[in-house]
Amino acid sequence: MSYEVKSLNEECGIFGIWGHPDAARVTYFGLHSLQHRGQEGAGIVSNNDGKLNGYRGLGLLSEVFKENRTLTSLSGNSAIGHVRYATAGNGSVDNIQPFLFKFYDGACGLAHNGNLTNAKSLRKELEQDGAIFHSNSDTEILMHLIRRSKQSTFIEQLKESLQTIKGGFAYLLMTETAMIATLDPNAFRPLSIGQMKNGAYVIASETCALEVIGAAFVRDVGPGEVIIIDDTGYKIERYTQDTQYAICSMEYIYFARPDSNIAGVNVHTARKNMGKRLAKEAPIEADMVVGVPNSSLSAASGYAEASGIPYEMGLVKNQYIARTFIQPTQELREQGVRMKLSAVRGVVEGKRVIMVDDSIVRGTTSRRIVQLLKDAGAKEVHVRIASPPLRFPCFYGIDIQTRKELIAANHSVAEIEQLIKADSLCFLSEQGLIDAIGLNYEAPYSGLCMAYFNGDYPTPFYDYEEKYQATLKDKINFATIN
């Protein structure tokens, strides 16, 4: 994600509305508040009395929908939209969602957040039977399954298809007569229902999108549920009873916006609690607490509050970082030219600094920030990470599919401390994280997927079994992280 210093990527945000005269425009504003979940591309499909129209493109939402008239052309009382996360290289508009399928007997829009674990085998089976795919994404699979289902209604075809699909997913569909939302059996990805003052129902990846459009929160979508919204209101059905809550804990730690609530827990508050707990688990004498902007400010303020050490703005992020920005040359970088993040000399000079960050992936960013603070005169830099060490891959929607890029999969905390040149380094404990979030679900998962921390995956691996076994053997030496 080019707008952040972190190299963790979320896979997409979705938003939909049924029953508003300006549906596409509301979708635009809803998506705008989900832009942090994906910057590679965006799209909207609208439903105008059964006629579906779509527009999608590469880039930020504001780049794709530059012209008011594009939104205006997406007329109709209902719409679904999607923002897609940035991957390297595959810059084709073919993969931008929502997909819009047109058939002789109907039409359907489809948007997806998540990652399927049996996509490869399903795709191969379908192709062997004559199916043609038009994108790299897993998303199309669902539509092929639906079109080949022998069930008599669309909803039954959908349910049958969902039973075939494995992994983490939140789907949003727009048919000619209804908007449908559904979630995987573990509720890996967040998905909520809201309602606008005019009665229109809204579906969104995060509750911040409800706030932004002035909608009231109705309820979260539960694992295995199928929400059907049409002119008669909303209905809740299920495609499976075999469900449990295993919400992606990285949503709380890093991905979600601090103003969102997930499963009733406010993200900022959860992060602040992580910081407070971290202060208790890993205290240190220092002059100030500094958060790495923007995602770690809540945790940092929690650490400060709990420790009684002043919370200071020791790091500043340039708010004008653009994707098209010219990068410093290697020579200039060596001379100290930097763009995104600055340490505040006037604040940290001569001081002992507790630097709070939400997580460590490769370690390079942490090392760079420690260096920034020391270059600006910090006497000591104690790094405190408001989550446990990331040690395992994820196959449910976060873009870490190998342990090679995880410093903690390959090194002990003591080694990492040395590698990033911190004066001390501590991570939050797993139990600390669970308590800080404070969900009321039972073991084994307490409502949270923490597989990247402890390797305890809530589902089989399916097509990823081999990849998982291979990455377990990866042994990388980060001694020379760059």
Tell me if 258 contacts a copy of itself by CB under 8 A.
yes
By rule CB under 8 A, what string of x and - marks binding of each residue 42-71 to a copy of itself? ------------------xxxx-xx-x--x
Q: What is the bridge-based pairing of β-strands 352-357 and 288-291?
A: parallel
CA distance 285 to 275: 16
Consult the annotation and say whether 446 binds a ligand: no
Tell me if 147 contacts a copy of itself by CB under 8 A.
yes
Q: Which of 107, 227, 263, 267 binds a copy of itself (CB under 8 A)?
A: 267
Tell me if 132 contacts a copy of itself by CB under 8 A.
yes
**CA-to-CA separations, 425 to 118, 313, 370, 419, 420, in angstroms, rounded:** 39, 20, 11, 11, 9
Which has the closest alpha carbon to 139: 89, 100, 196? 100
Residue for token pair 């996509």: 119
Tokens of 41: 């591309």
Contact criterion met (CB below 8 Å) for 139 and 95: no
DSSP string, 206-240: STHHHHHTTPEEEEEPPTTEEEEEETTEEEEEES-
Tell me how far, at minimum, the Cβ of 14 lies from a copy of itself, in Å: 17
DSSP string, 426-439: EE--HHHHHHHH--
Q: Which is nearer to a copy of itself, 147 or 404 (CB)?
A: 147
Tell me if 286 contacts a copy of itself by CB under 8 A.
no
Tell me how far, at minimum, the Cβ of 413 lies from a copy of itself, in Å: 29
CA distance 227 to 170: 11
CA distance 153 to 106: 13
Consult the annotation and say whether 230 binds a ligand: no
By rule CB under 8 A, what string of x and - marks binding of each residue 328-367 to a copy of itself? xx-xx--xxxxx--xxxxxx--------------------
- Amino acid sitting at position 158: L
Q: What part of residues 91-120 is at the interface with a copy of itself (CB under 8 A)?
A: 93, 101-105
Q: Which of 23, 119, 131, 419 binds a copy of itself (CB under 8 A)?
A: 131
Q: Which of 269, 371, 401, 402 binds a copy of itself (CB under 8 A)?
A: 269
Q: Which is nearer to a copy of itself, 84 or 411 (CB)?
A: 84
Tokens of 350: 């001569």
Tell me how far, at minimum, the Cβ of 393 lies from a copy of itself, in Å: 23
Which of the ranges 168-176, 177-185, 317-325, 357-365 carries the binding residues for a copy of itself, by CB under 8 A? 317-325
CA distance 432 to 415: 22
CA distance 322 to 141: 34
Which has the closest alpha carbon to 356: 412, 401, 299, 411? 299
By rule CB under 8 A, what string of x and - marks binding of each residue 200-219 to a copy of itself? -------xx--xxxxx-x--
Which of the ranges 9-17, 219-227, 306-314, 474-482 carries the binding residues for a copy of itself, by CB under 8 A? 306-314
Tell me how far, at minimum, the Cβ of 472 lies from a copy of itself, in Å: 26
Q: What part of residues 6-25 is at the interface with a copy of itself (CB under 8 A)?
A: 22, 25
Contact criterion met (CB below 8 Å) for 108 and 52: yes
Q: Which of 152, 153, 241, 324 binds a copy of itself (CB under 8 A)?
A: 324
Tell me how far, at minimum, the Cβ of 392 lies from a copy of itself, in Å: 28
Tell me if 124 contacts a copy of itself by CB under 8 A.
yes
Tell me how far, at minimum, the Cβ of 476 lies from a copy of itself, in Å: 28
Give the residue numbers marked as catalytic.
Answer: 12
Q: Which of 10, 12, 27, 36 binds a copy of itself (CB under 8 A)?
A: 36
Q: Which is nearer to a copy of itself, 138 or 405 (CB)?
A: 138
Contact criterion met (CB below 8 Å) for 168 and 186: yes
Tell me if 462 contacts a copy of itself by CB under 8 A.
no
- Residue 143 makes CB contacts below 8 A (sequence gap 6+) with 99, 101, 108, 110
Q: DSSP class of residue 378?
A: -
Q: What is the bridge-based pairing of β-strands 424-427 and 380-385?
A: parallel
Give the residue ranges of the annotated binding site for Mg(2+): 295, 357-358
Annotated binding site: 295, 357-358
